[in-house]
Structure 1
């Protein structure tokens, strides 16, 4: 059963969750979906998210970026989550901020220009599609229910000029896992603890394009 569920996130952002046939295919609690789908590595990353967040902030401040961290406001506040987490379907501008680094040569704070991204409508299981539409690194995946204050993002990373999308769970280095939270009236974020590339923690800011 577990091996089957690990492939539940299909390559394209518009895909549906794959479920086994029969009555057991209906998950009794929506908030359990992500735990059934997530890899062991991603469950560990999400479990330790706050420790990762605090450590990454500390690294950025020690690296001389206290002012940059302060200017980001609620985006880089570990406790900023507000009620009613799901973002409405539509086009957004997504800005990526990276904190910490894998080695001493990397900057401890990097903020990229906003890129177009898109949030889909919730399906019957309240899962929401998400994808970056441009940029050198492009997350593709789904927001899955967890609590009233946050959802879970599980997906994969497209790089460079790639056209296809790696299936979630097939390549640990490309797997992405994080929490989706509302941090303002028209502002959301995805927190990605211990990403596999470049940084200690990533925060992606989502604001409506219109």
Structure 2
């Protein structure tokens, strides 16, 4: 519920010198419902080894955010095309930036990058996802009212909540991605 209130407040408040797009604020406001529906399908029909990794990715109480450095990251997709898919590890990096941190997924054909905004826990994340060959623009450059992928690279907006459950584990919760799934988790480990 707190996440929904924060998301609604962000519609009128600037986010790191940019506005949160209205459709993205809506996705954030409904994140708990999206997660619940996606988890229901994933736990009921996912392969046991993938379910085990999903549970591990959600383990741990969120605390202080100090994410700078290199990470191993796995994308977990739930709902729509498949009940549960856990991808092999990729390389991610988080660096200090203005107003927070810059997260980048450095390997794989599906890439992403954006800002983890300093402040509340969980921390707001705004960014873009694209396939190799993109991105067409950053979050601020996307059309404010349109959720259609931008070329090159099928660049789409990403919004979510970043949580760190200790020095060696974090997760980025991404509700209602524009392409492929109902809910994504980027699970980061050191």
- Give the TM-score range, shorter chain: 0.7 to 0.9
Task: Return structure 1 stretches of 4+ with deviation > 6 angstroms.
Answer: none
Distance in 2 between the 1:120 and 1:62 partners? Answer: 37
User: Normalising to structure 1: TM-score of the pair?
Assistant: 0.70
Structure 1 counterpart of 2:103, from 118, 124, 130? 130
3-state SS in 2 of match to 1:121: strand
Task: Give how far 1:69 is off.
Answer: 2.3
Cα distance in structure 2, aligned partners of 1:73 and 1:181: 15
Match of 2:79 in 1: 100
SS in 2 for 1:68: helix
Q: Give the distance between the partners of 1:109 and 1:136, measured in 2 at CA.
A: 19
Contact 1:86 1:181 in 2 (8 A): no
- The answer for the alignment partner of 1:187 in structure 2 is 169
Q: TM-score, normalised by structure 2?
A: 0.77
Task: Name the one with the larger strand percent.
Answer: 2
Aligned to 1:159: 131
Match of 1:121 in 2: 96
Q: Which has the larger radius of gyration?
A: 1
Q: Could you tell me how far apart the structure 2 residues matched to 1:178 and 1:201 are?
A: 10
Higher RCO structure (Cα 8 Å, ≥6 apart): 1
User: May I ask how many residue pairs the two structures share in their alignment?
Assistant: 166
Matches within 5 A, 1:26-105: 33-34=14-15, 37-65=19-47, 68-76=50-58, 80-87=60-67, 89-101=68-80
Q: 1:67: how far off?
A: 5.8
SS at match of 2:107: coil
Aligned-pair RMSD on alpha carbons? 2.2
* Structure 1: runs of 5 or more not aligned: 1-31
CA distance in 2, matches of 1:96, 1:114: 8
